[in-house]
Amino acid sequence: MWDTLFINAEIATMRLGDVPYGLVPDGAVGIKDGEIAYVGPVRELGGDIGDVAREVHDVGGDLITPGLIDCHTHLVWAGERSGEFEARLLGKSYEEISAAGGGIKATVAATRGASEEELFDAAMTRLQDFIAEGVTTIEIKSGYGLDIATEMKILRVARALEDEDNIRVRTTFLGAHALPPEFDSTDAYIDFICNEMLPAIHTEGLADAVDGFCETIGFSTEQIERVFKTAVSLGLPVKLHAEQLSNQGGARLAAKYGALSADHLEYLAPEDAAAMAKAGTVAVLLPGAYYYLREDQPPPVAALRSTGVNMAVATDCNPGTSPMTSPLLATNMACTLFGLTAEEALAGVTRNAAAALGLDDCGTIEPGKRADLAIWDARRPAELVAPIGQNPLLARVFGGVICP
């Protein structure tokens, strides 16, 4: 007997196949021991529903999707950067603000000065926005410490968030985010990351993956490759902020190392999309940063689509370039700004987002997967993507448990 059964639902399983959204109309989802035991038409259950499960919920035609997944956030930080927003409105570029000591460096200073408790409280407030929109798995990057103590502090807070609430957290070490003030040389700092910081963080078991910022205001492909080699030697998967402001060949490097994802990609070359497809590297599209920085070159979605690169969508929640905590808004923006279809956008925060985190036990509704679900006051999947500023979530199911 199953533990829980949801019946009379429109189920967007998000499984690949001939049916858009993997849709199962008038469907049912059975759950046992925190996993999906059944998904299919109600009519195929047969017999008395009460004999099938201990607890039965008739959702009256509402929509069920996989729990949403945000595969790119920088959720843990201190301070605020509204002054930079004003500066950009007055004509300052991202690069100019960074050179003047703003940008990532400003957040690093504030985060170093914050206690673990202060960081936890601020991050938990932001996390509630994601939970309220049906998110069941979220990635949280470090990168606002740039020293061993603060990077560890950020990653410990990220782990603690998972312990506190019904949410799954994947942590990513982003030491190669910017040059900290105590270093004069990017090469010297990369040495520090590879020889001291990354091994220490790995020893503590604080990181599930390793990331870097490959850009003219970040680090070169040669420097990032050194970080990747160290990560691989420690058995950690890699991912990369690539081609956001210029084409530095980062996506090609990510593909070379079989990266889980390459993220941003506004300046991606079509031939590098083919390399990503061959490597199975997911393209994570971040329309919030594109919008907030008022960029005018969108990522080459047509090339990604034609080469078969899986596309994920994420908020890039961060204090300076995408202070967004709404994955639903991110899906809408991915459609309106980048030209994704509604189905591609929803796959981007479910199936493909799971792939971008290296997870194969979530992102779709099918037997054997985790019972992480979202139940919506909607009848069609596109109703989640089309509106702006609306949240039709009715309930969130995490590991088979209906969360308040």
Domains of the chain: 2-67+364-403 (2.30.40.10), 68-356 (3.20.20.140)
pLDDT at residue 164, rounded to an integer: 84
Spatial separation of the C-alpha atoms in residues 354 and 359, rounded to whole Å: 5
Alpha carbon dihedral 21, 22, 27, 33, in 10-degree steps, equals: -110
Pairing of β 53-58 and β 63-66: unpaired
In the predicted model, what is the mean pLDDT of residues 73-102?
89
In the predicted model, what is the mean pLDDT of residues 20-39?
97
pLDDT of 404 > 80? The answer is no
Spatial separation of the C-alpha atoms in residues 345 and 33, rounded to whole Å: 30
- Percent of the chain clearing pLDDT 70 (strictly above): 100
Contacts of 63 (CB under 8 A, 6+ apart): 9, 10, 11, 12, 375, 376, 378, 379, 380, 381, 383, 384
pLDDT at residue 66, rounded to an integer: 98
Higher per-residue pLDDT: 349 or 47: 349
pLDDT of 315 > 80? The answer is yes
Helix extents (H) in 165-297: 186-192, 198-203, 221-233, 250-256, 270-279, 287-292
Are 164 and 197 a contacting pair, CB within 8 Å? no
pLDDT at residue 134, rounded to an integer: 98
Spatial separation of the C-alpha atoms in residues 83 and 85, rounded to whole Å: 5
Residue 182, class by beta-carbon neighbours within 10 Å (0-12 exposed, 13-18 middle, 19+ buried)?
Answer: exposed
**Least-confidence region, from 17-21, 92-96, 130-134, 139-143:** 92-96
pLDDT of 312 > 80? The answer is yes
Nearest to 141 by CA among 209, 205, 80: 209
At residue 341, what are phi and psi to the nearest 5 degrees?
-80, 165
pLDDT at residue 197, rounded to an integer: 98
pLDDT of 331 > 80? The answer is yes
Are 45 and 58 a contacting pair, CB within 8 Å? no
In the predicted model, what is the mean pLDDT of residues 219-237?
98
Distances (CA, A) of 121 to 124, 135, 161, 275, 288: 5, 19, 9, 41, 24
Spatial separation of the C-alpha atoms in residues 6 and 11, rounded to whole Å: 10
Highest mean pLDDT among 83-87, 291-295, 340-344: 340-344
At residue 243, what are phi and psi to the nearest 5 degrees?
55, 40
In the predicted model, what is the mean pLDDT of residues 85-89?
90
Spatial separation of the C-alpha atoms in residues 284 and 250, rounded to whole Å: 14
pLDDT tens for each residue of 265-298: 999 999 999 999 999 999 999 999 999 999 999 9
What single-letter DSSP state applies at residue 281? P
> Which residue in this structure is represented by tokens 């002054």?
83
pLDDT of 47 > 80? The answer is no
In the predicted model, what is the mean pLDDT of residues 98-109?
86
What single-letter DSSP state applies at residue 21? G
pLDDT at residue 23, rounded to an integer: 98
Query: Do you know the residue count of the chain?
Result: 404
The structure tokens listed for 81 are: 């950067």
Nearest to 204 by CA among 163, 161, 248, 234: 234
In the predicted model, what is the mean pLDDT of residues 303-324?
97
pLDDT of 48 > 80? The answer is no
Are 301 and 106 a contacting pair, CB within 8 Å? no
Q: Helix or strand or coil: residue 213? A: strand
* Residue 282 β-bridge partners: 261
pLDDT at residue 105, rounded to an integer: 87
Pairing of β 135-141 and β 68-70: parallel
If pLDDT is split at 50, 70 and 90, which confidence band does 173 have? Answer: very high
pLDDT of 168 > 90? The answer is yes
**pLDDT mean across residues, the chain:** 96
- Cβ atoms within 10 Å, residue 209: 22
Spatial separation of the C-alpha atoms in residues 128 and 165, rounded to whole Å: 9
pLDDT at residue 98, rounded to an integer: 80
